Structure 1
Amino acid sequence: MRPQPLHHLFASTSLRTLALAAALTVGHAPGLSAQQAGSSDAAAEAGTTPATDDAVQLSPIMVEGKGGADAYTATVFTGGEIEDLGLDTVEQVLRMTPGVNINSAGGTNLSTIYIRGVGSMYPMNLGDSAVPMIMDGAPAGPSYLSLGTLDVQSVEILKGPQGTTFGPSALAGAIDITTRLPTRTLEGYGRAEYGQQGQALLEAAVGGPLTDTLSGRLAVRYTQSDHWVENSADGGEPLSTPSDVAFRGQLLWDAGTGTSARLVVEHETVSALPTLFVLMPYQNPASVDLTPGLYDDDSKTFDRYVLQIDHDLDIGRISSISSYMNTSGSAILAYDGNITTAQYGAPSEYWVKDEMQQSVFTQEVKLSAPTDATLDWVTGAFFQHAVASYDSPLTIYGANSPTLRDYTTDTYALYGDVTYGLTDSLKLTLGLRQNWTVASYDGTFWNSGFALYDSRSMDETATTGRAVLTYAVARTTELHAKYARGYAPGGFNVYTAQVADGEPFAGAINDMIELGFSTATEDGRFALTGAAYVNWVSDNHLLSYDSMTYVASAVNVDTRSQGFELQGRWRPGHGFELAVGVSYVDATITGDVYGVADGDILSGNAVPDVSPWSALVMASYETPLPAFLGLTSPVLKSVVSYNYVGSRPANPQNNLYLDSYQKLDVHLGVAQGQTEVYVRADNLLNDTYDLYGYYVPSASIAYGGMARGRTFVAGITHRF
């Protein structure tokens, strides 16, 4: 991705978020005012003028770049859509995305992200992900998935291998999160919500000029709710009361003459959000049998500092992105009396306390072509230094057998990408990336006063890249053919519980072929994009887990996924807009793995957690209402989303499948000027779908975690 000058971002999003079709229908609006932003929030976020029919502006959920250095497919959610649908965490956004699957136990620990059937099958360590997150240009690991969407401008889910136009390497895709920038006019908003199960939210942001060249923005959020799982040992009270406190401050300096700088400082703390181990089938309401208050001290704290500096030179734009992220957390992993009774025949309770800490420094420098250059190119260098610990200092039986693990990882990369016009209609893009990874691990395993030590190191190199041909059939229709290779580094298993499990796992390589198209009508009221693809992954990451001894080890296995996706947008006018996406994925394990603790894994088994079919339908409608209750010019605003996720295997042995589910969310509000009062129905169908599942073959039982059921929320938002 080519960086943009930050002073141009006051009113426009990056080119990579604009569909070819959308670019033909809604233009760049550098002079967008705060008043316009308040009246059409999504349009303001997209840097576009509102449609003439004043419809609620849903972004095109499939994005196809212009070709060349920006050629890829992606799914985009604007900040307005995220707020309207009540998507308070990144995980909730991803679960709405066709072709994306998540394995998460509901807490703040590690999560698995699959894009088009490609992903680490249970992450091995704090940095192991086929899908890196990028927040305001700086990379973050999969452990940030549970964090919030405070004052977000957009969340883009990039699909396919990445890494020749920006810092981190990506095996399956990347998640690009952009927060709202400071503006040159004073503006902001306040939002308050309250709903069933004690759901409460307070959020506010304000931004504007501080001097002639300096702007600032401050955003804060507080959320709290009662957990939807009950604790029978506590008389059916909620298992915990999770809360989230976050703030973000930004400074944006526009020095003129092509020089700008952006500083981001952010803090977030998530408290009392439990990791769920609930016996299947779930009771109604879902319930566990655990010591009351066990999760009260669970917490995760996230601090982030990002400095981006851009400067225009005669040969192009040079950009520096420096970031430092520090994360610490403590979590209880608990098997309750229901599980232990079913597995061992006696009601008891087993839990272990895990503590994690990670500090990551990243530096990226890139040089990109001038905006008016005929040849589109970018080249850059990337460095990351990560120091982490993942300790288990305490179990229910006391502190006599702690496990202490320390990790250091240095990542280096050089990359470059160039697009050349072969003819007026045909363009060729070539990208190349060289990766170097150096990692070390130290483990200490205590047992009744005796300690065993383990110390290892590894280094790894990988060469990746891409070749893309794009052909403009007509002004509004484009075809592309792409080959891309992605990479996820190897490393050491964060769950190592004994010296014998300390061997490193190898890095994974994904070779992908994709054919795609994008087309739109000349008037821009209808747009459609699609792609068909095949991924061949060598040495994919798989965590082998023994449900009897709780020992986990790292395994590499080959996989293949193939499928297609179609996504489009229709704007017929009269305040109505419809966006639809559908994805089909066939993801298969292509190698045998014998000796896995909970059962051999055979070639031909389906990749766990990947649903063959998924779909998203989003519709919006906005229309004036007659005056009532003293409102002189009320406007009805409504947004409806329908999300379908098909049945999928819960584990690589394929002896447990999770049910398909449907999620329907409705936002209905009345706006007067810059103020909207609304109600929202979350999960209206009350389909308490599985977040994940695990099967214990020795006892023929299964446990997992489920999402919150149907709730209603009322809220008010005011923009100024």
Structure 2
Amino acid sequence: MKTLPLSFAIATAMLTSISAISAEQALEAVELDVVTVSADFRDSNVQELAEAVTVIGTDKIDARNAQHLESVLSLAPNGNYSSGASRGRYFQIRGIGERSQFVDPVNPSVGLMIDGIDMTGLGGAATLLDVKQVEILRGPQGTRFGANALAGMINIKSKDATKDTEGYVAAKVGNYNTHSESAAISGSITDNMQGRLAINSFQSEGYMKNEFLGKENTNNIDEVVARGKLAAQLSANTNLGLSYFYADIDNGYDAFSLDNNRTTYSDEPGIDAQETHAFALSLDSKLNSSVILETEITTAKSDVEYSYDVDWAFGKYDENTGNCDTSQGACLEMKPEAWGYSYADQYLRDYQRNSADIRLLSAEDGRIFAGTTDWVVGAYHQMRSESLTRSYTPDPQYSSELKIASTSLYIELSTDITEQARVIYGVRAEQWQNDFSNSLNTGSDETELLFGGQLTLENLVNNDHLAYITLARGYKAGGANSASVVTEKERIFDTEYNNSLELGLKSSLFNDELVTRIAAFHIQRKNQQVKQSFVSYDDGVPDFTDYIANAAEGKNQGLEIESQWQLLEQLRWDLSFGYLKAEFTDYEISAKDDDDASKMIDKKGRAQALAPEYGLATGLSFSATEALTFSLESEAKDEFYFSDSHDEKSKAYVLWHARVAFQQGPFQAALFGRNLTGKEQEVRGFNFGNDPRDGYSNTRWVQLGEPRLVGIEGRYSF
């Protein structure tokens, strides 16, 4: 029987006691600020947007001392991530999303936009320097974003340039030799032009100790990020914007231990590095009282290195006998009958993305159908390339190149059918061209025509309650597997379609002091793309093969609750809860038995990977005085399967975070802590044999997330 964690019990008790506050006391509280979502076609109040959206603002980012998206994703109901790298850079929404990338290109299920620039699949760059808010849109985004948003979209929006001069300088220090320095400045360049520039350097030794090398920084963090923005008012009705994003990530990767702790024995620790230069140019113009023109052109180039020590141990071995080659040094202790090996794996990828989006929107006099209907119509084109060079110890060097051309037309209408009710309906048609070639001559050249969209009925029940029901269809393009060992039938995998039904209720109570958002959803997954992997052994040496297959069907359904309650002028309570039931309804996989013979395993009814049944985040923010503030947060997550190809699970956990800040004029000092109880959280897991000490017998392996982190911060704002 499942039991909800202590933090959920505490949240329930808090809700019960807080509900006893009299109406007179509640009326004394100040109302919550309006939160605007920018990822939609039109900026909208989050309480008036008929879909499930979480907005994580600067206050919550600061409360978590968050440097990267991985630290705040739990604030969104049914949001999750997978690591297998220096950062959690593979994201899941409602149990749908990728867990890793090795040889083959991946079409991610969760999109990632940074200031309008498509960074999907490059989650290492999801840093939070000078960020205004993170918007997490849950559910298929078939009309707005197309193939990259089957499960949802994450939109990171940095702070805009301001007319008045402002800025800050800040520094942080913490345990594990962690330190960060950042600065930002914003203001007017001319009467009609503003600029903003921000830069940050973040370094940490990391949380692993390499016993063999005698180092504590083989899993280090070393990141430099910069953002720049220009805004120009060309006329009363025309605005120009330019954004620049730079990331220089040079992290180590040495995260798996043969003892499943924070001590490693690898002699060739890996690298998790990324260098990105990205630009976005936007032009918005109100052509007349009926039509608005919006255009955006983006370009991004990223060079990525991902490497690791395959055997997680030290020592070199004779290729003919599998015994330790002592002429090259000592080896980790090995069971006598075992065949030792020492491999390294390196992936060098170059990404290039260019896009153009042009749309027309109705203005105040442009509504059609007797003035009842707003409209948006647009066209989008993107060119993507991804080249790979892989160097794997026992094999010849492998190379591949992927080129994708995507062209979309989309339209969305919003029709008032009564004073309280509105229908929103949209469709997107996308031509997807995929040209993949590699050094194994197992490439493909595919062209598909894909369709997505949505139909929403919303009803303003009264001034305090908005109810809606949405039918949506999302898609993720198919592709090809490159591995030479897969069968011709397994070579191609088909496009996945998700059909989603969502019912929601958004409420504002007690004169807008309490806001709630509730959503229930059911997603039917057709041709579900499932990443499979198997391990074969040659003289006891494991060889890993990944490929993508289509499950016949799956379903993901659940409930999501969010609330923000300004209890008193000094006290605010936030709550986020997600319940998820994600399972295969028709799926079989091919596996090997103990005699290395093939067999079929029925996965019907099994939970999908990275889909915890519950997740909770709750927190209190308290202003003791105008100068002194406190925040206390807790997050909890249920166990979940690490993969669809094996049955290892993570352990459920509860984490606690806190921050105390003192503000005196422009100066602020803060003391912060994450994971205060030092709870172990498992962020990636496998099952295979890799320990020479036990003869490479199959073992459960896990990567551990952050330990207890504490530090202090100083900031001067002007």
TM-score interval w.r.t. the shorter chain?
A: 0.7 to 0.9
Measured in 2, the distance between the counterparts of 1:715 and 1:343 equals 53
Q: Which residue pairs with 1:30 in the alignment?
A: none
Q: Please tell me whether the aligned partners of residues 124 and 274 of structure 2 are also in contact (alpha carbons under 8 angstroms).
A: no
- Once the 2 structures are TM-superposed, how far is the Cα of residue 225 of structure 1 from its aligned partner? 0.3
* 399, 406, 409: which one aligns with 1:404: 399
- CA offset digits 1:90-116 (Å, max 9, x no partner): 2322244320121221336x9532211
Q: Please tell me whether the aligned partners of residues 60 and 568 of structure 1 are also in contact (alpha carbons under 8 angstroms).
A: no
- Once the 2 structures are TM-superposed, how far is the Cα of residue 357 of structure 1 from its aligned partner? 0.8
Paired residues, what number? 643
- Once the 2 structures are TM-superposed, how far is the Cα of residue 718 of structure 1 from its aligned partner? 1.5
Describe the shift of the 1:121–1:534 C-alpha distance in structure 2 as closer, same or farther (beyond 3 A): farther
- CA offset digits 1:155-184 (Å, max 9, x no partner): 010011113245765211100111111000
Measured in 1, the distance between the counterparts of 2:378 and 2:48 equals 14
- Once the 2 structures are TM-superposed, how far is the Cα of residue 405 of structure 1 from its aligned partner? 0.8
2:341 maps to 1:351:
no
Q: Which residue pairs with 1:330 in the alignment?
A: 305
Q: Which residue pairs with 2:571 in the alignment?
A: 576
Q: Please tell me whether the aligned partners of residues 322 and 362 of structure 1 are also in contact (alpha carbons under 8 angstroms).
A: yes
2:270 maps to 1:272:
no
Name the aligned partner's letter for residue 290 of structure 1: S
Q: Which residue pairs with 1:506 in the alignment?
A: 494
SS at match of 1:88: coil
Q: Which residue pairs with 1:379 in the alignment?
A: 377
Measured in 2, the distance between the counterparts of 1:413 and 1:343 equals 61
Of stretches 68-77 and 503-512 in structure 1, the one that deviates more from structure 2 is 68-77
Q: How do 1:187-198 and structure 2 match up within 5 A? A: 187-198=166-177
* 221, 225, 234: which one aligns with 1:242: 221
- Once the 2 structures are TM-superposed, how far is the Cα of residue 654 of structure 1 from its aligned partner? 5.2
SS at match of 2:608: coil
Describe the shift of the 1:337–1:570 C-alpha distance in structure 2 as closer, same or farther (beyond 3 A): closer
Name the aligned partner's letter for residue 582 of structure 2: A
Name the aligned partner's letter for residue 291 of structure 1: D
* 408, 418, 421: which one aligns with 2:416: 421
- CA offset digits 1:187-222 (Å, max 9, x no partner): 011110001001110011101000011111111000
Name the aligned partner's letter for residue 411 of structure 1: S
- Once the 2 structures are TM-superposed, how far is the Cα of residue 80 of structure 1 from its aligned partner? 3.0
Q: Which residue pairs with 2:693 in the alignment?
A: none
Q: Which residue pairs with 2:643 in the alignment?
A: 651
* 545, 553, 578: which one aligns with 2:547: 553
Describe the shift of the 1:75–1:68 C-alpha distance in structure 2 as closer, same or farther (beyond 3 A): closer
Describe the shift of the 1:597–1:637 C-alpha distance in structure 2 as closer, same or farther (beyond 3 A): farther
- Once the 2 structures are TM-superposed, how far is the Cα of residue 653 of structure 1 from its aligned partner? 4.3
SS at match of 1:708: coil
Measured in 1, the distance between the counterparts of 2:135 and 2:457 equals 23
Measured in 1, the distance between the counterparts of 2:31 and 2:48 equals 32
* 505, 526, 529: which one aligns with 2:517: 529
- CA offset digits 1:577-601 (Å, max 9, x no partner): 0110111000001222332469735
- Once the 2 structures are TM-superposed, how far is the Cα of residue 74 of structure 1 from its aligned partner? 0.8
Measured in 2, the distance between the counterparts of 1:141 and 1:540 equals 20
TM-score norm. by structure 2 comes to: 0.84
Q: Which residue pairs with 1:705 in the alignment?
A: 703
- CA offset digits 1:404-455 (Å, max 9, x no partner): 111101111111111111111111111111111100111114xxxxxxx334
Measured in 1, the distance between the counterparts of 2:666 and 2:105 equals 43
- CA offset digits 1:6-30 (Å, max 9, x no partner): xxxxxxxxxxxxxxxxxxxxxxxxx
Q: Please tell me whether the aligned partners of residues 171 and 487 of structure 1 are also in contact (alpha carbons under 8 angstroms).
A: yes
Of stretches 324-333 and 340-349 in structure 1, the one that deviates more from structure 2 is 340-349
Measured in 1, the distance between the counterparts of 2:335 and 2:548 equals 28
Name the aligned partner's letter for residue 158 of structure 2: T
Q: How do 1:435-584 and structure 2 match up within 5 A? A: 435-445=430-440, 453-493=441-481, 496=483, 503-547=491-535, 548-557=542-551, 558-584=553-579
SS at match of 2:624: strand
SS at match of 2:515: strand
Q: Please tell me whether the aligned partners of residues 147 and 477 of structure 2 are also in contact (alpha carbons under 8 angstroms).
A: no
Q: Please tell me whether the aligned partners of residues 122 and 543 of structure 1 are also in contact (alpha carbons under 8 angstroms).
A: no
* 67, 70, 77: which one aligns with 1:98: 77
Name the aligned partner's letter for residue 709 of structure 2: T
Q: How do 1:169-318 and structure 2 match up within 5 A? A: 169-235=148-214, 237-274=216-253, 276-279=255-258, 282-283=260-261, 286-291=262-267, 294-295=269-270, 298-314=272-288, 315-318=290-293
Measured in 2, the distance between the counterparts of 1:620 and 1:67 equals 21
* 346, 350, 354: which one aligns with 1:361: 354
SS at match of 2:492: coil
Measured in 2, the distance between the counterparts of 1:66 and 1:342 equals 63
- CA offset digits 1:635-658 (Å, max 9, x no partner): 111222211111111121452111
- Once the 2 structures are TM-superposed, how far is the Cα of residue 508 of structure 1 from its aligned partner? 1.1
Q: Please tell me whether the aligned partners of residues 330 and 355 of structure 1 are also in contact (alpha carbons under 8 angstroms).
A: yes
Describe the shift of the 1:601–1:654 C-alpha distance in structure 2 as closer, same or farther (beyond 3 A): farther
Q: Which residue pairs with 2:93 in the alignment?
A: 115
SS at match of 2:543: coil
Task: Name the % identity.
Answer: 20
Q: How do 1:75-90 and structure 2 match up within 5 A? A: 75-90=54-69
Q: Please tell me whether the aligned partners of residues 686 and 709 of structure 1 are also in contact (alpha carbons under 8 angstroms).
A: yes
Q: Please tell me whether the aligned partners of residues 172 and 180 of structure 2 are also in contact (alpha carbons under 8 angstroms).
A: yes
Q: Please tell me whether the aligned partners of residues 587 and 610 of structure 1 are also in contact (alpha carbons under 8 angstroms).
A: yes
- Give the gaps of 5 or more residues in structure 1: 1-50, 446-452, 625-633
Name the aligned partner's letter for residue 653 of structure 2: Y
TM-score norm. by structure 1 comes to: 0.84
Name the aligned partner's letter for residue 392 of structure 2: T
Q: Which residue pairs with 1:389 in the alignment?
A: 387
2:633 maps to 1:641:
yes
Measured in 2, the distance between the counterparts of 1:343 and 1:621 equals 61
Describe the shift of the 1:496–1:654 C-alpha distance in structure 2 as closer, same or farther (beyond 3 A): closer
Q: How do 1:27-66 and structure 2 match up within 5 A? A: none
Describe the shift of the 1:517–1:69 C-alpha distance in structure 2 as closer, same or farther (beyond 3 A): closer
Q: Which residue pairs with 1:615 in the alignment?
A: 616
SS at match of 1:188: strand
Q: Which residue pairs with 1:684 in the alignment?
A: 676
Q: Please tell me whether the aligned partners of residues 91 and 145 of structure 1 are also in contact (alpha carbons under 8 angstroms).
A: no
- Once the 2 structures are TM-superposed, how far is the Cα of residue 85 of structure 1 from its aligned partner? 1.0
Of stretches 141-150 and 324-333 in structure 1, the one that deviates more from structure 2 is 141-150
Q: Which residue pairs with 1:675 in the alignment?
A: 667
Measured in 2, the distance between the counterparts of 1:410 and 1:60 equals 32
Report which of the two structures shows the higher radius of gyration computed on alpha carbons. 2
- Give the gaps of 5 or more residues in structure 2: 1-26, 315-331, 536-541, 594-599, 690-695
Of stretches 320-329 and 593-602 in structure 1, the one that deviates more from structure 2 is 593-602
Of stretches 127-136 and 608-617 in structure 1, the one that deviates more from structure 2 is 127-136
SS at match of 2:701: strand
* 588, 603, 609: which one aligns with 1:593: 588
